[in-house]
Amino acid sequence: MSSLVRPRTFDDPLSRRSIEVLRAGQAPSGALVASPAFPVYRYAWLRDGAFCAHALAVVGEQEAAAGFHRWVTRSVGAHRHMIESAILRVQSGETPPPAAMPPARYTLDGALEHAGDEPWPNFQVDGYGMWLWALEHHVGDRLDEQDAEVVALVARYLRATWRLRCFSCWEEYDDGEHASTLGAVVAGLDAAARMLGDEAFAHEADEVRVRLLDGFLLDGRFTRGPRDRRLDASLLWLAVPFGVLDVDDPRITATVEAVRRELAGPGGGLYRYLGDTYYGGGQWLLLTSSLAWHDAIAGNATEATRAQAWVRAQARPDGDLPEQTTEFPQEPGMVASWERRWGPVATPLLWSHAMYLIAEAAAR
At 109-127, the pLDDT tens digits run 999 988 767 778 889 999 9
- Report CA Rg, the chain: 19
Asked whether the beta carbons of 109 and 31 are under 8 A apart, the reply is yes
Q: Are 55 and 357 in contact (CB under 8 A)?
A: yes
Q: How confident is the model at residue 313 (pLDDT cuts 50, 70, 90)?
A: very high
Determine the structural domain holding residue 309 and report its residue range: 13-362
d(CA 138, CA 135): 5
To 10 degrees, the CA torsion angle through 71, 72, 77, 81? 130
Give me the residues paired with residue 32 across strands.
Answer: 26
Is 277 part of a structural domain of the chain?
Answer: yes
**Angle made by CA atoms 301, 247, 291, in degrees to the nearest 5:** 50
Model confidence at 2: pLDDT above 60:
no
pLDDT at 118: 74
How far, CA to CA in Å, does 231 sit from each of 15, 49, 203, 211, 236? 30, 25, 28, 18, 10
Find the mean pLDDT for residues 157-169.
98
Count Cα neighbours of 137 within 13 Å in the Cβ-side half-sphere.
Answer: 25
Does residue 206 belong to any structural domain of this protein? yes
Mean of the pLDDT values across residues 142-148?
93
Please state the rounded mean pLDDT for residues 197-205: 98
pLDDT > 90? residue 141: no
The reported pLDDT for the residue numbered 5 is 67
pTM of the predicted structure, to 2 decimals: 0.96
pLDDT of 219 over the 80 cut: yes
Q: HSE (CB half, 13 Å, CA atoms) of 106?
A: 25
In this structure, is residue 19 part of a structural domain? yes
CA dist list (Å): 37 to 99, 113, 331: 27, 18, 24
Domain count, the chain: 1
Rounded CA-CA distance 194/199 in Å is: 8
In percent, the amount of the chain with pLDDT more than 90 equals 92
Cβ atoms of 65 and 57 within 8 Å: the answer is yes
Residues sharing a CB contact under 8 Å with residue 58, sequence separation 6 or more, in sequence order: 5, 7, 8, 357, 358, 361
CA distances from 324 to 75, 129, 234, 311 (A): 29, 25, 14, 10
Q: Is 198 inside any structural domain?
A: yes
Question: Domain with 350 in it: what CATH number?
Answer: 1.50.10.10
Alpha-carbon span 247 to 244, nearest angstrom: 9
69 lies in a domain?
yes
- Say if 6 falls within a structural domain: no
